[in-house]
Structure 1
């Protein structure tokens, strides 16, 4: 069993990471939590199944022996989950890896492409023997029905004809995620489009990959519908794959009277439409149309990704779905959508880093 610590005591750590770690109790034993403030660290530890066994570490107030460096110096902690503000994470990831800890860090891999490339380059340059595993937590890649949709695509076969990603949300001023200081006044590109948008890009990429396609060009417009969602909250874009297949990407966190998330892939032999709770398959064979629908109970995928992290530690190799370079591809698409919008629908090339 691996001793693990949660670095960050925000909403997602409380509602997703803590129960995921405790459910995966055959792989991990929660030893400690860290947060900027003593009160939030205490709150997270108290919410655990065995609060007396979970040590707390914090920056404020400053107490000798209870800072982050002290946590990372513990020999009984081999791994950490980092769920901190986007711009804070890279330095903490480095610090944890330098301390010899395996790291599962929340998406996005960094606040921008340049920072992500530098961080990944630094990690890759470290000597291989005994190097800790660094995995990036993109829970959408671990949602069961998304895997099911990918399997249906492979089963249908054919060549991709077109595709679409449609996501509409309305983040109100009283939203619990909005009311965290670092999200309310974002110092990183895209605001909620970066923070949440990488999830939806990951879903699109996974399903396009099942059809043998990767996005290679992007062009889009961006705008701000709700003033509290600075700097932008909406993107409407067109994407083109390596084989010239054209599809659409529509992302909005400022649309009040329309909601939902859907990815559709159309091939020469049928179509698959994915939502978080349903997968629809449409095919035509011998002139006969057939439509199948399968309902699912919503699953965030966080437990599955935490289990995958534990299994990766045991195997000595990161799960392919959690590699930093996989997360880099999500970030690149999102960043280039934003830059295209900033530059009046300039065409942006998607690279292989």
Structure 2
């Protein structure tokens, strides 16, 4: 016997909800999700969303507005779950009300404005609401993107050899008045980092999924280059793995190794540390031809090949270039972005499993809140570094 569809309320009618969530919810893969209510502060926008579902042949949606609309969702016993796509700083008070009403929650990233708030948020859920069999996922689409998981699999191939070093570039042109910048919560941010937090956590989640040895410490500089993108619009960082990731160099002994046996004055050879560099910026000049908006490039150089991931606005590209004479196979794969679609499907099936008394499929257990606290911690470490080394685990432990 198949599980009953889950009924949800979609909260938010902003840019991202319209560009990513509506198309994803209308995919055939989401047939087990029934959107019953669209909530917004804007009646016109909510009706526009409802009309898109109707035009796609879905059942007519209810429109809920403002505080009265929140009460409507809280009191609707048919609503199993809410999908919250609002400015992240406004989400926690609403999420807590939905937990108290027995609703499962999928909420947009970042989880919170900083480590301290994020840990407190997770603790409240773990102590009070997880024991009541509620599901809470943080909707980090880069955590769910299939091509990112594919990249991790390719890096795990022994033929690639160890990672030597990597570089992540997330560089954007963001003029004053840009649709992403013009929203009030970004125009006058009351949280650390500005775009570097809200946009940067995507890239950090990708590193968490892809790298064999994720960041353990950072040495960084954070800047504000353009007044309309406060409080920071650029981060440049050296990123180090845990000390256990440092290994002896690969290959056979060199002439220096042999010569060292006969002279103590020769320099001590170094070791192999898979360090990386990060550049985040929303301060690029307007230069033509301009790179696509939100272009992210991750280059990972291994002993026997190089892996490159390129994330464009709507496309994901993965390429592996093998070293000459290696056993690495060349790869070139391109896909439309699927992260939001996958996270919605995983969340819905987790809710269905929980309602049926079954364990959640571990292969689909992504969007864990504590993982997204770590994503925020890496950004916070880079913002606070000011050229000094910051250990990410120690930074988190200060607030635990």
TM-score by length of 2: 0.79
Q: How far did residue 292 of structure 1 move?
A: 2.5
State the match for 1:73 in structure 2: 75
State the shift of 1:52 in Å: 6.9
Shift of 1:128: 4.5
Unaligned runs of 5+ in 1: none
Partners of 1:25 and 1:251 in 2: CA distance: 34
Q: Distance in 1 between matches of 2:304 and 2:366?
A: 27
**1:227 aligned partner:** 227
Where do residues 128-207 of structure 1 align in structure 2 (5 Å cutoff)? Answer: 128-155=130-157, 156-207=159-210
Question: After alignment, is 17-26 or 306-315 more displaced?
Answer: 17-26
Structure 2 distance, partners of 1:128, 1:144, is: 27
Take 1:174 and 1:300, find their aligned partners in 2: how far apart are those partners?
28
Does 1:11 find its partner at 2:49? no
1:136-181 CA deviation, whole Å, 9 max, x = no partner? 0111122232222222111244322212211111112232121211
Deviation at 1:89, TM superposition (A): 0.8
Q: 1:36 aligns with which of 23, 35, 41?
A: 41
Q: Which residue number in structure 2 is paired with residue 345 of structure 1? A: 387
Once residues 237 and 371 of structure 2 are traced to their aligned partners in structure 1, the CA distance between those partners, rounded to angstroms, is 22
SS in 2 for 1:67: helix
Aligned twin of 2:267: none
2:330: which partner in 1? Answer: 292
Separation in 2, partners of 1:236, 1:128: 38
Shift in alpha-carbon separation, 1:298–1:128, aligned structure 2, 3 A = closer
After superposition, residues 170-319 of structure 1 pair within 5 angstroms as 170-208=173-211, 211=212, 213-242=213-242, 243-244=245-246, 245=273, 246-256=275-285, 257=287, 259=291, 260-276=295-311, 277-284=316-323, 287=325, 292-316=330-354, 317=360, 319=364
Does the aligned pair in 2 maintain the 1:160–1:265 contact within 8 Å? yes
Shift of 1:300: 4.5
Q: Distance in 2 between matches of 1:31 and 1:180?
A: 27
Q: Is contact 1:262–1:274 with CA below 8 Å preserved after alignment?
A: yes
Q: Is the 8 A contact 2:137 2:367 kept in 1?
A: yes
Q: Which residue number corresponds to residue 257 of structure 2?
A: none
> Could you tell me whether the CA contact under 8 Å between 1:280 and 1:291 is conserved in 2?
no
Q: In structure 2, what is the Cα distance between the partners aligned to 1:250 and 1:313? A: 38
Q: 1:129 Cα deviation (Å)?
A: 4.6
For residues 79 and 349 of structure 1, what CA distance do their matches in structure 2 show? 37
Of Structure 1 and Structure 2, the greater strand share is in: 1
Aligned equivalent of 1:48: 53
Distance (Å, rounded) in 1 between the aligned partners of 2:78 and 2:35: 10
SS in 2 for 1:265: strand
Asked if the contact 2:235–2:382 (Cα under 8 Å) also holds between the matched residues in 1, the reply is: yes
Q: Deviations over 1:320-345 (max 9, x none)?
A: 321101111111101111111xxx22
Which residue is equivalent to 1:327?
372
Instruction: Give SS of 1:126's match.
Output: helix
Aligned length: 341
Q: TM-score, normalised by structure 1?
A: 0.89
CA distance in 2, matches of 1:289, 1:131: 48
User: Based on CA coordinates, which of the two structures has the bigger radius of gyration?
Assistant: 2
Q: Indicate the SS of the match to 1:53.
A: coil
After superposition, the Cα gap between the structure-2 partners of 1:25 and 1:292, relative to the gap in structure 1 and judged at 3 Å, is closer
Give the superposed CA RMSD: 2.2
Q: Distance in 2 between matches of 1:78 and 1:299?
A: 27
Contact kept? 1:203, 1:263, Cα under 8 Å: no
Contact 2:215-2:239 within 8 A present in 1 as well: yes
